[in-house]
Amino acid sequence: MSQPRPPKPAKLVIGFFLKEKGLGIHVVKALVDKYGAVDMASSWLPFNFTTYYNDEMGTPLFRRLIAFKQLIHQDSLADIKLFANDLEHEHSINGKRVVNIDPGYLLHERFVLATGKNFSHRIHIGKGIYADLTLMYTKGGFEPLPWTYPDYASEYIMTFLKQVRKKYVIDLKQAGGFHLLRY
């Protein structure tokens, strides 16, 4: 019989994409004000994996990922996604988003994104938010799944997340008693 145990803390990773890179400074500031210092950040990369957002956000679009120093409770993800939605709305123009913010968390074995959209492989985690198992860590690297968004399946993002995972292992050892923030 399995015995319930508290889940391990997670590394908060938030990706976002937008047209105007200058807005990224304001987005990161709002996220840092809410979730604390950034541990690692990717460089900007072109977001050219889909045309789905072109009508709403324009082109070209650029993506960036940031990982935060403070570990979080996994069950904080729904609230973090709701904050991200509020931030998107705050920056929208005439009802159209100018930034898309994708919060998620990283553990040893997986990378999970939050979404407001249900689908067969997504699990409801409360407040109308679903957890999307995006990548699995196996055999020394992240592996995409059939439903993984193409940008998250890219070698660049998986390499960045592998670096974040290395830092997460160090953070877990240092946390010992798991002093975590809850949002």
pLDDT grade for 175, boundaries at 50, 70 and 90: confident
Task: With a cut of 90, say whether residue 179 has pLDDT above it.
Answer: no
d(C-alpha 133, C-alpha 169), whole Å: 20
Half-sphere exposure of 168 (CA within 13 A, CB side): 23
Q: CB under 8 Å to 17, separation ≥6 — which residues? A: 47, 53, 57, 61, 62, 63, 64, 99, 100
Mean per-residue pLDDT, 29-50: 96
How far from 160 is each of 21, 83, 140, 149, 163, CA to CA, in Å? 20, 24, 14, 16, 5
User: Residue 79: pLDDT above 60?
Assistant: yes
Encoded tokens for 73: 């409770």
Instruction: Look at residue 176 in the predicted model and tell me its pLDDT.
Output: 75
Contact 47, 17 (CB under 8 A): yes
Which among 121, 126, 117, 27 has a CA at the least distance from the CA of 73? 126
* pLDDT value of position 182: 52
With helix as H, strand as E and coil as C, how does 7-60 read?
Answer: CCCEEEEEEEEECCHHHHHHHHHHHHHHHCCEEEECCCEECCCCCCCHHHHCCC
pLDDT at position 183 over 90: no
Per residue in 139-168, pLDDT (tens digit) is: 999 999 999 999 999 999 999 999 999 999
The yes-or-no verdict on residue 180 having pLDDT over 90 is: no
- 120: its two tokens: 């067969």
Indicate the pLDDT class of residue 95, thresholds 50, 70 and 90. very high
Per-residue model confidence (pLDDT) at position 67: 98
Burial of 119 (0-12, 13-18, 19+ CB in 10 A): exposed
